[in-house]
Amino acid sequence: MKYMFASDIHGSAYYCRKMLDAYEKEGADRLVLLGDLLYHGPRNDLPREYAPKEVIAMLNGRKKEIYAVRGNCEAEVDQMVLEFPVMADYALLVLEGRTFYATHGHVYHQDNLPPLQEGDVLIHGHTHVLKAERREGYTLLNPGSVAIPKEGNPPTYGIFEEGVFIIRDFDGQDVVRISL
């Protein structure tokens, strides 16, 4: 199966459309959303085409294909309008024999690790900075931000298939590739 990972849409209808277009082009089987879906948050400027109601409709249209975790900008009211679970702090996914600990990154991250075993993968968003690197005992992944990338990065998402994690921009160009 092919999995697409994305984070930090922050209510941008423009980038949500780009993300879903990429999901279609990739032919992914599941979309894993790593939080901060609807609200831009008090520390961020409004993203391009800030329209949470449009984002709600787009994501609800894919509800059977989405796994999601709660970001620091999610609230109970978000769960009231989204038709798929979004309030879990993390999800454990076993993909191709590897355990992925998927979370937003505001609680668990490289400086506050969840319980990981040798060879596990910690994947999160939150920082809006893409990352793919091996650490002592685990692999750290961050697909970057769909709508509000930081540190000069382009808007990006991640793809996991056949043991390889690729971070791509919305032009389909590989930015980072790592074998797991």
Q: Domain locations in the chain?
A: 3-153
**pLDDT 10s digits, 123-140:** 999 999 999 999 999 999
Helix, strand, coil shares, percent, the chain, to 5: 20, 35, 50
| First vs last C-alpha separation in the chain | 15
CA atoms within 13 A on the CB side of 9: 30
Give the separation between CA 61 and CA 66, rounded to whole angstroms. Answer: 10
CB atoms within 10 A of CB 14: 18
pLDDT at 42 over 90: no
Q: Which pair of structure tokens corresponds to residue 99?
A: 């355990």
Mean of all residue pLDDT scores within the chain: 97
At residue 43 the predicted structure's pLDDT band, cuts being 50, 70 and 90, is confident
Q: Whole-model pTM above 0.85?
A: yes
Least-confidence region, from 1-10, 42-51, 67-76, 162-171: 42-51
Cβ atoms of residues 28 and 2 within 8 Å: yes
> CA-based angle 70:73:79, to the nearest 5?
55
At residue 44 the predicted structure's pLDDT band, cuts being 50, 70 and 90, is confident
Give the separation between CA 2 and CA 157, rounded to whole angstroms. Answer: 13
**pLDDT 10s digits, 65-105:** 999 999 999 999 999 999 999 999 999 999 999 999 999 99
Domain 3-153: CATH superfamily is Metallo-dependent phosphatases (3.60.21.10)
